[in-house]
Amino acid sequence: MKIKFFKHSLGKDEISAIRKVVHSDFLSSGPYCRKFEKLFSKNFSKKYCTTFSSWTMANYILIKSLKLKKDDEIILSPSTFVSSINTIILAGAKPIFVDVDLETGLIDPEKIRKKITKKTKAILVVHLYGQMCNMKEIAKICKAKAIKIIEDCAHCIEGNRNKILPGELSYAAIFSFYATKNITCGEGGAIITNNSRLDKKLKQMRYHGINKLINRKLIYNHWDQQEISLKCNMTDLNASILIPQLKKIEKNWKKRKLLWNKLVEFFKKYKDIRILKNIEDTKHAMHLFTFLVNPNIRDKLINNLIKNNVSCAVHYRPITKLNYYKKIVNEKKIPNAVLIGKSTISLPFYPKLKKSELKFMLGKLKKSFSKFKIN
């Protein structure tokens, strides 16, 4: 037996949906994209949604829409995938890192206050592993300073905190539909907002900056170039796969919750292993199941598990260990994020994981822990 790191939950409904698109008149952005945008925004009680080819391009276009100057700053957590940081830099802004809370892995609001300057224009809030940051506190801080909040909800479609939904207190919230996400179309992203001007801007900027009008009348409309941008729209092929999954979000979340509880129960036996804290009054989206071990044995443990047919991953390696960023980020200023990044291991965790596969994985974990004297 071999336990893969991830298996998607696509099936007959998604195959049927994409077949309809193949037999339709639209393959690129069309009625299925618009339908998904309408349904997805409604899911979060937002007025608008714009789909993109990826989370990365969604964030890049959003930041470009802010018209920031070279020295303008965007605060974010260093415990994130590099796309969050890359897009800030490529869009012309400067990333400012605020360390995370050691118990939760989430950005610390009190540390945000200390990093705000006159150049701070936005905060990119990363909801890590499926658990939301303290949006009430962050919103208070940003409102007093007229700073825009952008939420990275790539891990957090199902989450809420203190009954606050993703996107509820922010300027905009960005979602990912990458292959391993809780709903997926292989590659894709979306931005939800209540700001009509932003929504109009995003829809224009995702298509070169052209005001390409849909020709619903039998009259030719010349398009015009309003500003320069990139092409990063979602296709109807992608959107059609997403629509049936919206109905399965809660069902698949419940399956992951059952699996989560079994894993937590297993790890209770080991005092040398730590699991990040679940915050009260929070619905954890349970996107990834991670645990923390001694950094000195982390990579050895991963390799041993892989050798024994249990796939693992790291979310995320400290940015200070990446050749590009270690030159510009001082790890002494983000010690908690660095420690978590050196210690974390992500296990296979998805609705299709069978009982027999879970039993096999736990058995291999037990043997590996014994080998490395993890008590």
Over the stretch 199-252, which tens digit does the pLDDT of each residue have? 999 999 999 998 865 555 667 778 888 889 999 999 999 999 999 999 999 999
Closest CA to 119 of 74, 67, 87, 151: 74
- Among the three residues 247, 270, 294, which one is the final residue of a domain in this structure? 247
Domain that holds residue 129: 12-247
In a domain, 293, yes or no: yes
* 242 and 261 together in one domain: no
In a domain, 2, yes or no: no
* 189 and 283 together in one domain: no
- Among the three residues 247, 269, 303, which one is the final residue of a domain in this structure? 247
Residue 229: predicted pLDDT: 95
Residue 220: predicted pLDDT: 76
CATH number, domain with residue 280: 3.90.1150.10
In a domain, 316, yes or no: yes
14: exposed, middle or buried (Cβ count in 10 Å: 0-12, 13-18, 19+): buried
Please state the domain count of the chain: 2
Give the integer Cα–Cα distance in Å for 66 and 63. 5
Flag whether the pTM goes above 0.85: yes
Residue 216: predicted pLDDT: 57
Percent above pLDDT 90 for the chain: 94
pLDDT tens string 130-182: 999 999 999 999 999 999 999 999 999 999 999 999 999 999 999 999 999 99
281: exposed, middle or buried (Cβ count in 10 Å: 0-12, 13-18, 19+): exposed
To the nearest whole number, what is the mean pLDDT of the chain?
96
* 80 and 188 together in one domain: yes
- Among the three residues 218, 247, 276, which one is the final residue of a domain in this structure? 247
In a domain, 238, yes or no: yes
Residue 213: predicted pLDDT: 57
* 196 and 260 together in one domain: no
* 325 and 199 together in one domain: no
The predicted model gives 306-322 an average pLDDT of 97
* 266 and 230 together in one domain: no
CB atoms within 10 A of CB 90: 13
What is the Cα gyration radius of the chain?
21
In a domain, 6, yes or no: no
In a domain, 3, yes or no: no
* 224 and 349 together in one domain: no
The CA dihedral of 289, 295, 300, 303, to the nearest 10 degrees, is: 30
CATH number, domain with residue 240: 3.40.640.10
* 95 and 25 together in one domain: yes
Q: Which two tokens stand for residue 297?
A: 């044995």
Give the CA diameter of the chain. 75
Beta bridge partners of 152: 126, 174
Give the integer Cα–Cα distance in Å for 349 and 315. 13
> How many CA atoms does the CB half-sphere of 243 hold within 13 Å?
22
* 169 and 149 together in one domain: yes
* 90 and 169 together in one domain: yes
